[in-house]
A = this chain, B = another copy of it.
Amino acid sequence: MAVAARKLRLYLTLGQRLFRDSLLFHLLLQDDIDLVGESDSGADTLQRLAAAAPGVLVIEENLRDNDGLTIAEHALNLSPTLSILLIAETQVSPGRLAIYLDAGIKAVVSKQQAMQDLLKTLYYIRNGQVYVGSWQRTDSEESGAARAFDGLSGREREVAQLIASRVCIKEIADQLGVSCKTVHSYKDRIFAKLGFERMPELILFMKRYHNGAVP
């Protein structure tokens, strides 16, 4: 293996505490993400940025004291190697995206996008790469997600459905008449096929695209 992937030093600026908490909780489940700071305002961010020395700054577009773009530009002045991910209010148009990229922002994710988009983008830009493309999805992605279900085998679907209904592994094993080990194998394969890492992702996926209830 080439590079021993270092931890991602993350700084998050988001005005609303509830969502900041919730996003951070999610992000901190990834054990290669190291939180080095957080703020609810732009001024605060700029003030603490140097000391925190993050690798990636995730910042909201509309902060109460300033707009994220301005803050981002200041931040880039302070530390030019910083990767910035802007969280936009709405889907950004190509024109606006170009402005953002010109300003040195590495990626833009809108509040209408899925959490997984944010995560993927975050990992993508961690090494300084620019990530475009996130704005041009929405529908195709969604149906793609739904279609991913078709890639599961019969047993895998059964297990996915039972798991989404919160039936525990032991019970699933009993119901299907196989060993727990086997059920775990199915679960692992489902996760691998769908690219999930944790239960809530699978549950959410099943609820959304396959109605959760066993048909």
Contacts and interface: CB of A to CB of B under 8 A. Distances in A.
A113 B17 contact: yes
A25 B115 contact: yes
Contacts of A153: none
Contacts of A96: none
A61 to B, nearest CB: 12
Interface residues of A, number: 37
Interface string A13-53: 00011110111111011010011001000000000000000
B34 A166 contact: yes
Contact of A18 (B87, B199, B201): B87
Nearest 9 pairs of A and B residues by beta carbon: A21-B115, A28-B200, A16-B111, A22-B22, A25-B200, A18-B111, A19-B19, A17-B112, A28-B203
A161 interface: no
Given A166-B7, A199-B28, A19 B204 contact: no
Nearest to A19: B19
Contacts of A28: 199-200, 203-204
Nearest to A31: B166
Contacts of A29: 198-200
A109 interface: yes
A24 B200 contact: yes
B112 A18 contact: yes
A181 interface: no
A87 B68 CA distance: 24
A83 interface: no
13 contacts: A16-B111, A17-B111, A17-B113, A18-B87, A18-B110, A18-B113, A22-B26, A22-B115, A24-B200, A25-B26, A28-B200, A31-B166, A34-B166
